Amino acid sequence: MRVLASRRLPGPAWDELDDVELLEAPLAEPRPDVEALVVVAQVVDDRLLDLLPSLRIVANYGVGYDGVDVEACARRGVAVANTPGVLDAATADLAFGLLLAAQRRIVEGDRYVRDGRWGTDWAEAVLLAEEVSGGTLGVVGLGRIGSAVARRARAFDMRVLYTRRSPDPESMALDDLLAEADVVSLHVPLTEETHGLIDARRLALMRDGACLVNTARGAIVDEEALVRELVSGRLRAGLDVFAHEPSVPRELLDLPNVVLTPHIGSGTRATREAMTRVLVDNVLAMREGREPPNRVYP
């Protein structure tokens, strides 16, 4: 099975694919020999699928596959698979790290020391932060990653509120959660329903001094509205994802009340290698005529 990929993925599992071609430039000519396409944050649409008439599987490196036109793939009988489960802990760790960094003003403190502004009186009223222990965390989307974040929060004696799609008597209405939480952490996939889910009206529901953490997808939030709230200083944020990556709103770059990271939720060596293992298993299953274990539809 000829595999087309934009890059080599980390870990020994990658070497189990014995007919891989690394694509150095966007595909422009038809490739009827290619049966598997490995994508990393890449758009897969009708135009690309037209160039790959023999394609059998799109193997997405990551959980989110919003760049893949799943309906177009389904119409052509092309399977789409992702790599769930193995990155839950790493992403939850980063989400909670952003929560701690934003609430306890850790990045500001680092700059304060490096700039030589640290005085001799440790009790001076600078860099006073918000308490994390005993606070209220609102988890928007209590799936695998959201649940992992909730477990970490409970270890900090935080009260946990949540929303989820499946029926659950303890799940809250989103507006109520936003109004009550000290920290809101987003863990929903990007879909037509969730695009712009956290809009200006909902951001306004958050209490003064509250913190928004986003390790899901940037477009879940109305980015312009969020920038306005952060520039005003009313909210704090820890952001790993943005609406137009790798572009980041310039207004955020010098703000002290926001912590920024470059979409590294799954960015540990062990996690990235485990993701490669899952992706390779999906491709090998298709090559051997078996159902990919992580097919995302139907």
Q: Where in the sequence numbering do the catalytic residues fall? A: 217, 245, 263
**Would you state the structure tokens that stand for residue 56, as one six-digit string?**
């059998």
- Beta bridge partners, 36, equal 3, 57
**Would you state the structure tokens that stand for residue 38, as one six-digit string?**
């490995």
* H or E element that contains 112: helix 106-114
Best CA proximity match to 295, nearest among 41, 46, 59: 59
* H or E element that contains 189: none
User: Omega into 169 within 30° of 0, i.e. cis?
Assistant: no
Measured distance CA(259)–CA(242) in Å, rounded: 12
- DSSP per position, 153-179: HHHTT-EEEEE-SS--TTPPPHHHHHH
Measured distance CA(61)–CA(282) in Å, rounded: 11
Measured distance CA(237)–CA(199) in Å, rounded: 15
Helix (H, G, I), strand (E, B) or coil at 284: helix
* H or E element that contains 93: helix 88-103
Measured distance CA(235)–CA(45) in Å, rounded: 37
Radius of gyration of the chain (CA): 21
